[in-house]
Amino acid sequence: MPNTPLLSLTLALWLCALDAKAQVKPLSGMAGQGKETSVAVDINARGQVVGVIEDEDGRQRAVMLDKVLRELGTLGGSDSFSKGINADGVVVGSAQDGAGRWRAFLYRHGEPMRDLGTLGGRSSYGTGVNAAGQAVGFADTAADDFHAFLVGVDGKMVDLGTLGGNISYAAGINARGEVVGTAALADGYRRAFLYRPGAGMRELGTLGGRSSAASAVNDAGQVVGASEMPDRRWHAFLHDGAKMVDLGALIGYGNSYATGINAAGHVVGTILLGEERRSFVYRDGKMLVHQAGKGLYLTNAINDDELVIGATFFSKRYAAATMQSNATPVVPKGSRDFIALMGFVVTMAVGAVLLRRRYRGIELSKGRMLRM
């Protein structure tokens, strides 16, 4: 796309026209000390927040913020990170054991952190937990592949399979036990999937490209994520169970990805314009894009009180932060020329895609990067 002064002016004027009232506030209890880095990853209806803090030496600590900061510990190793929390404060994430292996964990206050096991391999990663305490994630199999899993209330880990390929990752689960994530097809391309108890896994399609990935699902079964477009860019999507809706991007170029959705169907995510990141909120058929520096640098989740959490980026470090989503966008509904953008990398790394190295994408022992 030509980079003309007129285009730059149009973009600047359009962004200024957005009513980006959302004020970013640091989560002071999760800010870390000195040069520590922190990211807020998930939030429940009670406002309890989970995330991760990384110290100067690169050690990661799973944390939960509920008036006071609580470190959740590990499974005997040095590092851990939390990924999801349900309404009762049950936390899921990943932690190293005494042998240095990453294992999915379930944490309840007052009880020791529980190792959820694997599917016959070395490692596992927890990504989501629902109201019943069912947990999802992905784990090594005996064949040395990652498969999506579901751990029921009985504590048993179930392999959810794939879409014909050898890899799958679960990213979220709702109250009905519906699981979303990404799975490989027989040809190697990856597709967003929805898994329903008793019905199995089905792919959700794309927006015209070859691949897609799902990141979250609400209790109504609405799924969000991102899909490749015919021009190889990525756009955030909302799938209502029948069709995949393109949430767009910005002025027809760039990339966007959706990371969270609440009960009202309001979606949050991130837009990438080259090296620049902008947070967005999508609701009532309109996408509000916050001006650079006015929104979150990493946008991870939204709860039913419209509280959005993630992180800002300043002084070369991330800091956990929050903002309200109550800004009113002024972009006309359906204005595809002025709404289009995304960057959702389908190597879906669940529990980690956060800090530039590990958060918002943790590096696994096999050298793969997966989406959180």
Model confidence over 160-177: pLDDT tens digits? 999 999 999 999 999 999
For residue 251, name the pLDDT band (cuts at 50, 70, 90): low
Q: In this structure, are residues 16 and 59 in contact, taking their beta carbons and an 8 Å threshold?
A: no
Residues with Cβ within 8 Å of 202's Cβ and at least 6 positions away in sequence, in order, are: 193, 194, 195, 196
For residue 18, name the pLDDT band (cuts at 50, 70, 90): very low
Q: In this structure, are residues 64 and 82 in contact, taking their beta carbons and an 8 Å threshold?
A: yes
For residue 314, name the pLDDT band (cuts at 50, 70, 90): confident
Q: Distance (Å, rounded) from C-alpha 362 to C-alpha 357?
A: 6
Q: Distance (Å, rounded) from C-alpha 74 to C-alpha 77?
A: 6
Minimum mean pLDDT range among 188-192, 288-292, 326-330? 326-330
Which has the closest alpha carbon to 51: 317, 364, 352?
A: 352
Higher pLDDT, 367 or 39: 39
State the average pLDDT over residues 346-370.
31
User: Maximum Cα–Cα distance for the chain, whole Å?
Assistant: 61
Which has the closest alpha carbon to 310: 131, 21, 88, 52?
A: 52
pLDDT digits (tens, 9 = 90+) for 216-229: 999 999 999 999 99
Q: Which amino acid is at 159?
A: D
For residue 49, name the pLDDT band (cuts at 50, 70, 90): very high
Report the pLDDT value the prediction gives residue 293, as an integer from 0 to 100.
Answer: 67
Per-residue pLDDT for 34 more than 80? no
Its pTM stands at 0.82
State the average pLDDT over residues 269-273.
90
Residue 249: both structure tokens together: 């991007």
pLDDT digits (tens, 9 = 90+) for 197-210: 999 999 999 999 99
Name the residue with tokens 């809706």. 245
Report the pLDDT value the prediction gives residue 365, as an integer from 0 to 100.
Answer: 31
Q: Which amino acid is at 106?
A: L
For residue 253, name the pLDDT band (cuts at 50, 70, 90): low
Angle at 13 between CA 8 and CA 19, to 5 degrees: 135
Report the pLDDT value the prediction gives residue 295, as an integer from 0 to 100.
Answer: 78
For residue 28, name the pLDDT band (cuts at 50, 70, 90): confident
Q: Distance (Å, rounded) from C-alpha 204 to C-alpha 223?
A: 9
